[in-house]
Structure 1
């Protein structure tokens, strides 16, 4: 609005015209603000409902994307409002873009963790409660956020890992499948009966219900070591039974070997002394 000097006092018609112009501007701004706020809420609710119904998208990611949609509409609304009052929005957008670039460079590490967190929540290589090995650490997953992943070790130590380190490394999920293969190795003396040792191990496996019959357990001679005949044992079981079965088989097979005179030899080395 132009200022009037004392020599050019506005007439009533001019004042009315300016009043109408200002009123229309304020009315238009109010209308834009009302529509912008309504549209922002509608976009947020719509995205949250649509993404929340997908089983492949985590609820946290759905909320995050819905919030991004809401704030994008609010930013556009703010720029439109400034345009209503005569502000040059082109230069403002350029300034906001430069500021966004500067902030992005300053927060590069944080933004990379955010991007990695979104990828983890979308692709779900592991879930809360599963035992995993990520970023050189292993433990039970206790939390997955947009910036970090929390693990609890077997001795109840909390490990917090930035998501960038998790997504950027190999992920081993020990509970992804319902079943796992348990591998063990035993060594018997060269003087022992190999077939007898194999039958003992097979009997122990058959007596334990945790050992799956399909696929059939494998018990075979793996190789001839320096001081023992090496036997390999491969048996499938439920992932939840893995460690309990492993410890039980080690103890039971050793006891059955002792009861049937099958020896597990100590490593030995024969040294020949040359003639003096």
Structure 2
């Protein structure tokens, strides 16, 4: 008899709970289902849109994860609100905790922000030769936290993204063409027109020098020991250093062949006796 009474009381308690909280439980289940579906479909749609626009995969993964996490957090807050939990105070606690974590990790977060900006605006790409934050090298990788460079003598440089984004970036590989600038000097006694003709002929004979824009040779300075010419030649970006080295050598050989002197620095000293 006592067992039947306890069973009836238990059934009454269950019925009371279902009657009181049934709609809340049902609503919470619906919110969880909808939130789970949205947290999967929205990042997938974002992934497709950003992929079509050519956004870097690292940024895409980061944003998709951030969006999914945000949707799940909102879903949990809505479920708690369904049961009468005061979410405003909970949000305030989470905000305070987020602020404390942000202040503790502000250096790391600034690197993440710099990495996102670098990956979105793409001022440098893997394979480009750049100068940034006081260092120069070929870009090997651009991540969310650091940028990796490799110097011409194969030294690895790891730069925090905040310092890269916060500094002037000089990208030598951005354009397809570059201009080779040389300063060539001849003796005052030599024929300037003849020297210019020799240099023009040497430039024209090199297939790497571009015809448009046309090469330029001009008298730039009457220096202490020489008449200096400014030589400007356009070429493909990949030919810059080989062409610069080869032209320097060819100019010297051409001047020697034509009897044109490249003077070394000298001073005239006047002696006063007595």
Query: What is the TM-score normalised by the length of structure 2?
Result: 0.92
Give the aligned partner of residue 64 of structure 1: 62
Q: Tell me the C-alpha RMSD between the 2 structures.
A: 1.7
Give the aligned partner of residue 207 of structure 2: 209
Q: Tell me: CA distance 1:22–1:196, structure 2 relative to 1, closer, same or farther (3 Å).
A: same
Please give the secondary structure, in 1, of the residue aligned with 2:138. Answer: strand
In 2, distance between residues paired with 1:85 and 1:35? 17
Q: Once the 2 structures are TM-superposed, how far is the Cα of residue 86 of structure 1 from its aligned partner?
A: 3.4
Please give the secondary structure, in 2, of the residue aligned with 1:74. Answer: helix
Query: Does 1:44 find its partner at 2:40?
Result: no
Query: What is the TM-score normalised by the length of structure 1?
Result: 0.92
Shifted more, 216-225 versus 85-94: the winner is 85-94
Equivalent in 125, 147, 150 of residue 148 of structure 2: 150
Give the aligned partner of residue 185 of structure 1: 183
Please give the secondary structure, in 2, of the residue aligned with 1:81. Answer: helix
Equivalent in 201, 219, 225 of residue 227 of structure 1: 225
Question: What are the Cα deviations for residues 181-226 of structure 1, in whole angstroms up to 9, with x where unaligned?
Answer: 1100111111111111111100000100111111111111111110
Give the aligned partner of residue 5 of structure 2: none
Structure 1 residues 98-177: aligned runs within 5 Å: 98-177=96-175
Give the aligned partner of residue 16 of structure 2: 17
Q: Once the 2 structures are TM-superposed, how far is the Cα of residue 12 of structure 1 from its aligned partner?
A: 5.0
In 1, distance between residues paired with 2:273 and 2:88? 98
Q: Tell me: CA distance 1:187–1:12, structure 2 relative to 1, closer, same or farther (3 Å).
A: closer
Q: Tell me: CA distance 1:24–1:223, structure 2 relative to 1, closer, same or farther (3 Å).
A: same
Name the one with the larger helix percent: 2
Equivalent in 239, 245, 257 of residue 259 of structure 1: 257
> Which runs of 5 or more structure 2 residues have no equivalent in the other structure?
1-7
Give the aligned partner of residue 30 of structure 1: 29
Q: How many equivalent pairs are there?
A: 267
Give the aligned partner of residue 53 of structure 2: 54
Please give the secondary structure, in 2, of the residue aligned with 1:150. Answer: strand
Give the aligned partner of residue 244 of structure 2: 246
Q: Once the 2 structures are TM-superposed, how far is the Cα of residue 101 of structure 1 from its aligned partner?
A: 1.0
Q: Once the 2 structures are TM-superposed, how far is the Cα of residue 32 of structure 1 from its aligned partner?
A: 2.0
